Amino acid sequence: MLLDVLVHRDLFPAGSPELRIYDTALEGVADANDPARDADRFDLDERITTPLSWRAARAPRHADVLAHVFGRLGWDEKAMRLYRCEIDYPIYGSQVAMLFEPERR
């Protein structure tokens, strides 16, 4: 499984996202903002990385697709930050989520 989240550098400028993986077998899709679903979280060693390149070995044309999308939308790819989670064998019935903390003003 390859989960990429692209975030504009002006959004969520501080900190790193939190990775949560939920068991959805009994209760279905989890709302990460619902503390009642904390009991359904898996305690796994998976991590979020911040690769220096859009390239992904498991998806050879991934960078090409992103470049095409940026071009069509007129977005500056240098203004984006990439957060990635790769899981070799995701658990069937699991849900992977990245949570970003909004800046407090």
Give the number of domains in the chain. 1
In tens, the pLDDT along 57-96 reads 889 999 999 999 999 999 999 999 999 999 998 899 899 9
Q: Is residue 17 domain-resident?
A: yes
Q: Is residue 79 domain-resident?
A: yes
Q: Is 39 exposed, middle or buried (0-12, 13-18, 19+ CB in 10 A)?
A: exposed
Residue numbers of the domain that contains 73? 2-97
Q: Is residue 104 domain-resident?
A: no
pLDDT at 105: 66
Please provide the size of the chain in residues: 105
Q: Is residue 22 domain-resident?
A: yes
pLDDT at 70: 94
